[in-house]
């Protein structure tokens, strides 16, 4: 079984748009307790690698052929990105997925703003670590800044879809931005 019901959301996204394949290196942000990591480990197999990151400790995952690593860190802290790069290894990252969520206050606009902030941290991380052609998934609570976030993601990837997996229907504001095939890194000025 899976450690979290949220595992089925990633399974559904993967089934619909084909995200995870054999041998991939996956970075999973907001990974505790580890449900998405389990799904990723199954899909990437023995030649794959899964790096899970969370503020909370993630209990050791065994029984998978994939190489699995965990990083305890805060994604709003720049140092965590360096830890991720180290854990992902020199081969580069094929997909960054984020199921991060803020602690809910119940105040809708605040929860929305915090969620967009976390999704933007994930997006920046993806831009730093992904290979060309890599994929990105981020959970965001819908609200006024949602469209602006999607627009920014669209500039960096070939294909972007907003999805709402069945397993998250009970909280109707929860959406997943699914982006495939990261475009060529633009040549920076001065190169
Ligand atoms: N996908 C996970 C699974 O299948 O087991 C469930 C993730 S849970 C919905 C959201 C997680 O985001 C929480 O474990 C929380 O600690 C984490 N999180 C929230 N803010 C974070 C941050 N700034 N840095 C790292 N993780 C964060």
- pLDDT at residue 168 in the model: 66
Q: Which domains does the chain have, with CATH numbers?
A: 7-182 (3.40.50.150)
Residue 189 or 144, more confident: 144
**pLDDT tens-place string over residues 128-152:** 999 999 999 999 999 999 999 999 9
| Spatial contact of 179 and 160, defined as CB atoms under 8 Å apart | yes
Instruction: Please indicate whether residue 139 is annotated as part of the active site.
Output: yes
The yes-or-no verdict on residue 184 having pLDDT over 90 is no
Say if strands 49-54 and 25-29 run parallel, antiparallel, or are unpaired.
parallel
| Spatial contact of 134 and 182, defined as CB atoms under 8 Å apart | yes
CA of 37 to the centre of ligand 1 (A): 12
Give the Å distances, CA to CA, from 85 to 79, 128, 130, 161: 10, 9, 10, 27
The yes-or-no verdict on residue 189 having pLDDT over 90 is no
Given ligand 1 and candidates 11, 95, 99, which is best to mutate, with the most ligand atoms within 8 Å of its CB?
A: 99
**pLDDT tens-place string over residues 51-99:** 999 999 999 999 999 999 999 999 999 999 999 999 998 889 999 999 9
Active-site hit among 9, 139, 180, 182: 139
How would you class 163 by CB atoms within 10 Å of its CB: exposed for 0-12, middle for 13-18, buried for 19 or more? middle
Place of tokens 């999607």: 150
Residues 32-64: b if buried by 16+ CB within 10 A, e if exposed = bbbbbbbbbbbbbeeebbbbbbbeeebeebeeb
Under DSSP, the state recorded for 45 is G
Q: Report phi then psi at 49, rounded to 5.
A: -145, 140
CA of 160 to the centre of ligand 1 (A): 23
Q: Where are the beta strands (DSSP E) in 34-92?
A: 49-54, 67-72
Kindly calculate the radius of gyration of the chain based on its CA atoms and give it in whole angstroms: 16
Tell me the pTM: 0.95
- pLDDT at residue 137 in the model: 98
Say if strands 157-163 and 25-29 run parallel, antiparallel, or are unpaired.
unpaired
ipTM of the complex: 0.99
CA of 85 to the centre of ligand 1 (A): 19
**Ligand 1 atom with minimal separation from the 118 CA:** 23
Residue list, ligand 1 pocket, CB within 6 Å? 3-4, 6-7, 30-36, 53-56, 74-76, 99-101, 118
């Amino acid at each position: 079984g899976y450690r979290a019901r949220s595992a089925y959301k990633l399974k559904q996204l993967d089934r619909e748009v084909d995200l995870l394949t054999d041998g991939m290196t996956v970075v999973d942000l907001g990974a505790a307790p580890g449900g998405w990591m389990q799904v990723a480990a199954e899909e990437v197999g023995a030649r794959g690698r899964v790096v899970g990151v969370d503020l909370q400790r993630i209990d050791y995952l065994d029984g998978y052929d994939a190489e699995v690593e965990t990083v305890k860190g805060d994604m709003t802290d720049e140092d965590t990105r360096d830890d991720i790069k180290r854990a992902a290894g020199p081969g580069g990252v094929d997909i960054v997925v984020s199921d991060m969520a803020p602690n809910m206050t119940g105040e809708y606009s605040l929860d929305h703003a915090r969620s967009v902030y976390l999704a933007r941290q994930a997006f920046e991380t993806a831009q730093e670590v992904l290979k060309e052609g890599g994929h990105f998934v981020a959970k965001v609570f819908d609200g006024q800044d949602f469209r602006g976030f999607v627009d920014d993601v669209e500039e960096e990837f070939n294909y972007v879809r907003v999805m709402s997996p069945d397993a998250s229907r009970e909280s109707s504001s929860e959406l997943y931005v699914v982006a495939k095939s990261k475009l060529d890194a633009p040549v920076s000025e001065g190169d």
